[in-house]
Amino acid sequence: MFKKVLIANRGEIALRIIRALREMQIRSVAVYSEADADALHVKFADEAVCIGPASSTLSYLNIPAIISAAEVTAAEAVHPGYGFLAENAEFADVCKRCGLTWIGPQPDLMRLMGDKIRARAAMEESGVPILPGTGVLRTEQDLFEGAERIGFPIILKASAGGGGRGMKIVRSQDQLVHDWGTGRAEAQASFGNPDMYMERFCERPRHIEVQVVGDSHGNATHLGERECSVQRRHQKILEEAPGTDISDALRARLTGAATEATRRIGYEGVGTVEFLLDEDEQFYFMEMNTRLQVEHPVTEMVYGVDLVREQIKIASGHELSFKQRKARGHSIELRINAEDSETFAPSPGKITGLNLPGGLGVRVDTHIYEGYVVPPHYDSLLAKVIVHDTDRGAAINRALRCLDEFVIEGIKTNIAFHKNILNSAEYRAGKVDTGFVARLLESRGR
C-alpha cells in the first residue's frame, strides 16, 4: 500500500480523498493555487504545495507543476479526483513515466473512452446497445447522408466532448450545415478537436448511469444504477440511487451490459457507464466516464462501499474487496452551487454565515466555512447534501428538511431551486427525464 498520495484537485473532492487516505493511514499531499491558500483541503492535508496563480491553466491544469510537487514531497501516487486532469490520458502517462502510480484506469482506456466514436464501437463490440449513428462527419455530404439514413431529429456531438459542449439538436435539413459549423467551432474551442458525429435523437430520454469497478486480476462488478435525469443545460443538478421506476428485469439488463463491457475491455478502477433510456425501456450507450463521479456518494450510501478507498486499493494491486452488494434504501444528492436561484448567474464572494444540516442519514461533502471567500475562478459547487432513508419518499422528505437547515449567508445559492424540484408533483411521482428542469422553469415563467 502507498505511504503518500498527492491529490491533483481542490475543493470538496480533495477533502473527500484526504479523509479516505487518513482512514487508510496514508499521508496526503495537497496542491493549491494562490487563490486557494486558505482552502480547507490545504489545511487538512499532511503537506501542501502551491503550484501557481489563480488561473486553473497555470495551476490545477499545470502538469509540470503538479509533477514537481509530487517529486519534492516524495509522493508515490497521484489521485486526480474529478474534473481538471482526471480524464487526461497524457497526464496519466506522465505520472507513470515519472514513477508515480496513477489512481485510475489505464491511459489507453482513457483515450479510448475519451473518443466518443471509438467508444461507441468498443461498446457495440461488447454487446452494449448503441443509437444509430455515424463516424466523424468530414463533409457536408457526410452530414446529409447520415441524416437521411438515421432520420430527423438527430443530435450532433463532439467526438472529444462532454458536458453538452458542441452538442446540437437538429430537427430539419435546413439547420444541418449551420449547426454542424457552430458545433465544430465550439468543439475546437472546448476540446482542441473539431470532430463531430451524429446520432438519432431521443425526445424524452432518461439519463441512467451504472457504477462499475474492475481490478487488475480480471474481476469486474457493478454497484447498481443512478438516476441523473435532473439536469439543466446538460449539467446535473440532483442525482439519486437506485433509479426511479426501474424494474428488476430492466435493472438486470442495464447492470449486466455495463459489467460485461467493463470485463471485456479489461477496465481497472472505478468508472461509470452512462445510458439513455427511452420511453419504451430501451437503453443505449452514451459514454463512459473513466473517473470518480461527482455523484458517487449516493452509491456509497445505498451499497456501503467507500469508492475512493476502493480506487486506492485497486491502484496498489489489490483485488476488489467485494464481489457483489445489494442496494439498501434510497439516496439523493443535491448539488449546492454559488449561483442565483432565479437567474443561475454565478455568485462568488465571502460567506458571512453558515449552518450545515445534519442528523440521521445525512452527509454533507463540502469545503466551505464561515469566512471562506468563494473564488470566481473555478466551478461554482459549494457542497453536496446527500441523504439516505428507507425509501424514496422518506429520502425526499429528509432532503427537504436538510434544505431548511442549510443556511449560507453573504452569497446567493440554488437552495431555493432545489426546494422547487423536490416539491414538484412530477419529481415526486418519479416521472423525470432530461427535459424535466426545462419544463419546471417554463411552468414558473422562466
What type of residue is 281? E
Tell me what pLDDT residue 444 has: 79
Distance of CA 346 to the CA centre of its chain: 20
206-443 CATH:
3.30.470.20
Rounded to whole angstroms, how far apart are CA atoms 367 and 12?
5
Rounded to whole angstroms, how far apart are CA atoms 183 and 194?
8
Tell me what pLDDT residue 105 has: 98
Active-site residues: which are they? 291
Tell me what pLDDT residue 274 has: 97
Facing residues of 231 across strands? 236
How many CB atoms neighbour CB 171 within 10 A? 12
CA distances to 56, 146, 211, 244, 399 from 241, in Å: 32, 36, 11, 8, 14
Taking residues 4-16, report their average pLDDT: 98
**Which residue is listed with cell 420511453?**
279
For residue 324, pLDDT beyond 90: no
Tell me what pLDDT residue 381 has: 97
Residues 370-419: tens digit of each pLDDT: 999 999 999 999 999 999 999 999 999 999 999 999 999 999 999 999 99
Residues 286-302: tens digit of each pLDDT: 999 999 999 999 999 99
For residue 446, pLDDT beyond 70: no
Rounded to whole angstroms, how far apart are CA atoms 287 and 29?
31
Phi-psi region of 356 (alpha: psi -120 to 50; beta: other; left: phi over 0): beta
Residues 234-275: tens digit of each pLDDT: 899 999 999 999 999 999 999 999 999 999 999 999 999 999
- Record: fold of 132-200: Dna Ligase; domain 1 (3.30.1490)
4-103 CATH:
3.40.50.20
Domain boundaries, the chain: 4-103, 132-200, 206-443
